[in-house]
Structure 1
């Protein structure tokens, strides 16, 4: 505004505080000798006053301008055009009351935040535990820097979550075959005596096999109100007492061998199988089919078959053979197929447990648990219910090249793919189609049940409107019984659907490819129904499912 306009307003306009409100007193001359004003003029007038940081009331200012610019009014009129507001404190809590947040809105000419005001606000919300003094001090400092109306939010208190109890744990007291066979110790002469190793992977009657550790109760926590947060105790899981084992007479939490034989490891128990030992399997021995464990102190030759109810352990190589085990398959050497007359012929391994070998090429492997290779996996077809791990302990070796690898528990390797761009396919969450199909089927059944319940409810309403003497008691009973049956079935189906959903989400969370050194172009990773194609070489990274899509991120940032 020009100086004469400012001087004119100062003579005709007066600001007068009345409590928290600021009144604008407008003295309009009777002769109408006054210049029109606008919002900018009022703003400038307020800005130059001691009340410049009050909260402006726009509608009242518009009323004042309209009054002043009117040609037919004169005299004195009062308008409340601004108000003083202290710093505003809003306290919010997380849904579980484990965190408390303070949101500040800068004062409009009113009182600034003080420690006493802040503490009283927290006490009013019964926030008494987990309050951070450093955060409160920072909040106080920040409040003095806030412009009028500026907001700032900060978490100032956090409870301590309960530590959930741990489920029953099982500790194997004897090593599995892979620990002995795939990492043998040299003899005094620098050579490995596989027969000694064969003795080391067997157990004797009465030998302790596995210890069961009792579930824990967990530790209680607290929320910001100081209320106790109770933990969920761990689940008690019973021993799986397999064939050839029993609970110890002295300790029911120890599983012991009931006979001599080869131990077969499980997650919650073990078994001890009778053991058949042979020097080799070839045309001179014939195929092997044994209701126990099989230990081969040499190679398994082309065209041969071994079937065992327990573990199959081979100290040599397996070439173009077929092995099927009710337990684990452990091969100290390699698993080798080959091209024959221009046709690829696979070496086949199928186990209910894990499969472990030094390397595999042109192999077809199915495992009920993990598949572990220590050197490389090349041009093979692998389907593991667990994870596929291709690496040695020192991370010097471990490559997956070509073929198709399907793993429900993720793929972990040092190198994935090849420099030549050989197409290497990785498919994670191999059970998603089955899980989805089962969930979709349950949804259809649930919809049918809901429709039947609706029909029965409609029928109940119709029956209720009939006179009692005209209702059929048999029909009423039939309708009530039918409705109860379908409601019970619907509840069961909802529970099953929820369990499947949890299993599905758990598999998605474990769908992960982790590469410690290099992933080459030409690798295809499929998770659920989406595919990620590696178009250029990348160093250490991991690929996973996030926000309904496949993402690739550097391993070091995880």
Structure 2
């Protein structure tokens, strides 16, 4: 029998980098080796192994040491920390409107009533905050505690006509209207304005603070502006549609190379021909994009049954997905991804805003310092007391704004660094005459190629199979 003090001549204990596992290994093989469970445990203790000892392995080594002469075995396993779960905001209203035509009492179907909106009433719950969940500390095999990463608190992105309760756990509508997400995910409630037909000379241009629903077409030369969403049940010609939220067009866009359809969030349409479309997030097209200029902050998705992109320039911050790109006549078609000019502009504006905030904070701090000095000397008049309260509130508001801006700057920096997500997915065929641009790199397609994905890889655009 070998005493635990002599065991270190025969065996060694090594720890993983995070001390989460201790490995047992024979450093010297001796057929006559034997040791008791107690001796082995005592040896482990002398090596600072205090937690997670695998007693069945210890027993097995004690009874059959030769089994372990040529292998390294985990003899103690600690507990990994369980990270907390981030809090989140859950919407209590459905933002997808009903798509079924309205059936009247006599059984007839009214297709003009295709868009039915989920309006909310004043005081109705719109969203609630789910708090982050706590995690659980882990433990190393040496008995030290491994701290877990706590979950992050979610924050409401507050837009127009919404109220948050005092403890910031629920958001309510301040007016009757329609819940709309605008750029950067702000939640708003906008009133709704409906046009029961075309936007033409009889209606004139529309500029509305809320959501606009048009149950007809928007004709060339007219403008529809909305702080919320724009829904068009017909089609759009060479007109200008500008929305803070999303734009949805049941028909298509035939733009005659005039006009512009621009949304803070998404543009959803069945086809685009000779059009100009800009979306803060996604452009989603069910049929085709032909000879148009398209720009999306995130993705351009044109992968329906037809799913054709031909001619023009399509730019996306992250992905372009299409069934077919280009045609057999090698029509010049440019697809660019990893292009986010809006983000570069936004980050510059945010940095400017942050500088301004810091200047204002300094002024507020100086004023507060003087008022606090006066208060300490008992020389604060009632109007100065009111001013001090106001300045303190201003300071808190500045700090909140500063936190929000810094978080957004970090978010944008991460997005700009990440060209790894930029890709062009071809579900069926890409033809010669097409040009793929990822970030600063360009690749021309010479021959028709089936089912591929273009990605950036170490200074070049490479092709992988589409799965």
Query: Which band: TM-score by shorter chain?
Result: 0.5 to 0.7
Distance across 1 between alignment mates of 2:75 and 2:428: 44
Correspondence 1:90-489 to 2 at 5 A: 91=14, 93-94=16-17, 96-98=18-20, 124=47, 126=49, 128-129=51-52, 161-176=80-95, 179-180=96-97, 183-185=99-101, 187=103, 191-195=109-113, 197-198=115-116, 200-225=117-142, 227-247=144-164, 252-266=168-182, 269-278=186-195, 279-338=197-256, 345-391=257-303, 396=305, 398-411=307-320, 413-420=321-328, 421-431=330-340
Counterpart CA distance in 2 for 1:381 and 1:112 is: 79
Please report how far the alpha carbon of residue 536 of structure 1 lies from its aligned counterpart in structure 2 after TM superposition: 4.7
The question of whether the paired residues in 2 share the 8 Å contact of 1:87 and 1:113 is answered with no
- Confirm or deny: 8 A CA contact 1:317 1:331 kept in the other structure: yes
For residue 552 of structure 1, report the CA deviation from its aligned partner: 3.7
Segments of 5+ residues of structure 1 without an aligned counterpart are: 1-85, 147-151, 339-344, 443-494
Q: Is the 8 A contact 2:247 2:266 kept in 1?
A: yes
The answer for unaligned runs of 5 or more in structure 2 is 1-8, 352-405
Give 1:297 shift. Answer: 0.9
TM-score (norm 1): 0.57
TM-superposed CA distance for 1:311, in Å, is 1.6
Which residue does the alignment assign to 2:368?
none
Instruction: Report 1 or 2 for greater relative contact order, CA contacts < 8 Å, sequence distance ≥ 6.
Output: 2
Cα distance in structure 2, aligned partners of 1:331 and 1:195: 14
Contact 1:336 1:363 in 2 (8 A): yes
**Contact in 2 for aligned 1:369/1:385 (Cα 8 Å):** yes
Q: Is the 8 A contact 2:31 2:66 kept in 1?
A: no
How far apart in 2 are the matches of 1:549 and 1:130? 50
Deviation at 1:281, TM superposition (A): 0.4
Question: Could you say what secondary structure the match of 2:251 adopts?
Answer: strand
Distance 2:170 2:208 in 1: 28
Instruction: Return the offset for 1:543.
Output: 4.0
CA contact (8 A) 2:190 2:210 kept: yes
Does the alignment pair 1:525 with 2:442? no
2:76 & 2:431 partners in 1: Cα distance? 48
CA contact (8 A) 2:102 2:114 kept: no
Q: Deviations over 1:7-44 (max 9, x none)?
A: xxxxxxxxxxxxxxxxxxxxxxxxxxxxxxxxxxxxxx
Query: For each residue in 1:323-369, what CA deviation from the matched residue of structure 2 results, as whole angstroms up to 9, or x when unmatched?
Result: 1112221212212224xxxxxx1451112222222222322111122
The 8 Å contact of residues 408 and 507 in structure 1, kept in 2 or not, is answered as: no
SS state at 1:503 partner: helix
Q: Give RMSD over aligned pairs.
A: 4.6
SS of 2:113 mapped into structure 1: helix
Query: For 1:133 and 1:404, how far apart are their aligned partners in 2?
Result: 66
- Using a 3 Å threshold, how does the CA distance of structure 1 residues 118 and 236 change in structure 2: closer, same or farther? same
Q: Which 10-residue stretch deviates more, 152-161 or 294-303?
A: 152-161
In structure 2, relative to structure 1, the CA distance for the partners of 1:252 and 1:156 (3 Å cut) is same
Aligned length: 391
Shift of 1:419: 4.9
| SS of match in other structure, 1:319 | coil
Note closer, same or farther for the CA distance 1:501–1:327 as it changes in structure 2 (3 Å cut): closer
Instruction: Give the whole-Å Cα distance in 2 for the aligned partners of 1:286 and 1:92.
Output: 76
Q: Is the 8 A contact 2:343 2:412 kept in 1?
A: no
Match of 1:465 in 2: none
Distance 2:174 2:156 in 1: 15
Is the contact between residue 115 and residue 233 of structure 2 (CA under 8 Å) also seen in structure 1?
no
Distance in 2 of aligned mates of 1:156 and 1:372: 55
**How far off is 1:296 after superposition?**
0.7
Q: CA deviation at 1:317?
A: 0.8
Equivalents in 1 of 2:34, 2:436: separation in Å?
A: 55
Give 1:403 deviation, angstroms.
2.9
